[in-house]
Chains A and B, each alone.
Chain A
Amino acid sequence: MRITPAALLLAMMSGLLSFGVNASSPTQAAEADLTFESSAQETQYRTLIDEFRCPKCQNANLAGSDAPIAQDLKHKTYELVKEGQSNDQIRQYMITRYGDFISYKPPIKSSTWLLWFAPPLTLFLALMVWFLRVRRRTITTAPLSSEETWRLNQLLNDESQPSAKQELRDDR
């Protein structure tokens, strides 16, 4: 297999990305027996503590942190879920107290446009550049003239002549 620069870069980037994901992936901390009225509430609770970030630990979510404040915020999330509050209400509760910092899912607003739209934009630009280059390459491959066709046929038919092959190689 030929290693192209693009493939190499892609491999490195995916390596970096998966490393980053692993670093922040939740390791479910043991939780005191929490009871939920429905599995939907439990799912809501798990989703939220996965999404919220521990304000003390800089780079761990609530689910993966044993810091006292993370325990308290998990308990607060539990209480709010039990009260029947929606995801957005609970998110708002956390953001008014700890800011956008609390969420690993930053809101889309003017200060976060770069964060949200730079990756798809870069991908789009890269695809455009790639597309244009491929198209240009196709166009420059002009059809063979009658003279060239005649010569090509001659070279292909006359396989016994090593000098002809040699010539072909030199022409490349």
Chain B
Amino acid sequence: MSRMKRKQFLWLLPLVIFMGLAVVLWTRLGVDPKIVPQATTDQILPTFNLLNLTNGQLQTNASLPTKPFILNVWGSWCPTCAIEQPFLLKMQQQGVVLVGVNYKDQPADAVAYLTQRGNPFVLNLQDSTGDLGIDLGVTGAPESFVIDQDHRIRMHILGEINDEVWRTQLKPCLDRLIYKGAGQCV
């Protein structure tokens, strides 16, 4: 009798499995599925030969600072870059070294943007084709990298830099690199 009863409900099993799957998949829709590409993290900075945005001179990896710094990929066309710009200026005032990668931009627009809003960068590389961007593994702008004194990438941040990102990610990484020598941040 009980076996008969069990057989009767067996056909419901696929339905139950299906509903379970549906619930799992449905609830996953609420979770941010963003995956941050980290392939270039802990790799040496790619080599480049790019013009300096402000003075037109050719720059190579040798032109980069020899202490830990932040590499910021930006463009005058990028709305989120304009949002984080005041924070970059604040970081610069606090002594953080910032190098800009002017990504897929018109040089004239970029220079006008910096003149108007202030320039937080010690050096700005003019990556008009976006090739350095691809070598860095960027997916758009703004994106930022923490680079150590040996020019190795130690952190890759996608999107806006703000007080929270600074407090929870960038500052701990920079402190580690500056006060403890080189080392991994992630």
A residues neighboring B (CB under 8 Å)? 3-5, 8-9, 12, 16, 55-56, 58-59, 67-69, 72-73, 76, 95-99, 101-102
Contacts and interface: CB of A to CB of B under 8 A. Distances in A.
B6 interface: no
A72 B33 contact: no
A101 to B, nearest CB: 6
A96 B43 CA distance: 10
Contacts of A55: 37, 137, 139
Interface in B107-153: 130, 133-140
A96 B37 CA distance: 10
A104 to B, nearest CB: 13
B116 to A, nearest CB: 24
B35 A5 contact: no
Q: Is the contact region of chain B dominated by helix, strand, or loop, or is it mixed?
A: loop
6 contacts: A12-B14, A55-B37, A68-B104, A97-B134, A97-B135, A97-B136
A69 B137 CA distance: 10
Given A58-B33, A72-B133, A99-B39, 8 more contacts: A5-B10, A8-B11, A9-B14, A55-B137, A69-B140, A72-B130, A97-B137, A101-B35
B34 interface: yes
B4 interface: no
Given A68-B140, A69-B139, A72-B130, A98 B33 contact: no
Contact of B18 (A12, A59, A76): A12
Please indicate which of the listed interface residues B18, B34, B38 has the most CB atoms of chain A within 10 Å of its own CB. B18
Given A3-B11, A5-B10, A8-B11, A97 B40 contact: yes
A64 to B, nearest CB: 16
